Structure 1
Amino acid sequence: MTKALVSIGSNIDRDLHIQAAVKALRALDPHCRFSRIFEAEPVGFEGPNFYNLIAELDTALDLQTFWQTIRDIESRYGRQRDDVKYRDRTLDIDLLTFGDQCQSSGPALPRNDIYKFAFTLWPLAELCPDQAIPGDGRTFAQLWQQFDQAQPLWPIETPAYLKE
Structure 2
Amino acid sequence: MARIYISLGTNIDPVEHMQSGLIDLHEQFGQLTLSRMFESEAVGFNGTNFLNMVAAADTEMSIADVVATFKRIEKQNGRIRGEKKFSPRSLDIDLLLYDNEVCQFPIELPRGEILYNAFVLWPLAEVAPSLQHPKNTKTYQSLWEEYDKTSQNIWPVEFDFPAILTR
Question: Taking structure 2 as the reference length, what is the TM-score of the superposition?
Answer: 0.94
2:162 corresponds to which residue?
Answer: 161
Work out the percentage of aligned pairs sharing the same amino acid.
37
Q: Does 1:121 align with 2:121?
A: yes
Match of 1:104 in 2: 104
- Quote how far apart the aligned CAs of 1:159 are: 1.4
For the 8 Å contact 1:37–1:158, the answer to whether it is kept is yes
Give, as a single letter, the amino acid of the residue that structure 1 aligns with 2:108.
Answer: A
In structure 1, give the amino acid aligned to 2:155: W
Q: Tell me how large the CA RMSD over aligned residues is.
A: 1.2
Is the 1:28–1:59 Cα contact (8 Å) retained in structure 2?
Answer: no
Partner SS, residue 101 of structure 1:
coil
Provide Cα deviations, 1:22-72, integer angstroms capped at 9, x if missing partner: 101111222111100000000011111000000100001111111111111
Counterparts of 2:25 and 2:60, CA distance in 1 = 13
- Equivalent positions of 1:1-164 (< 5 A) are 1-150=1-150, 151-161=152-162, 164=166
Distance of 2:137 and 2:108 partners within structure 1:
17
The structural deviation recorded for 1:14 is: 0.3
Distance 1:160 1:77, change over 3 A: closer
How big is the shift at 1:2? 0.3
Deviant stretches of 4+, over 3 Å? none
Distance 2:9 2:109 in 1: 19
Q: 2:142 and 2:80 mapped to 1: Cα distance?
A: 35
Cα deviation for residue 161 of structure 1 reads 1.9
Structure 2: distance between partners of 1:47 and 1:126: 26
Contact 2:19-2:161 within 8 A present in 1 as well: no
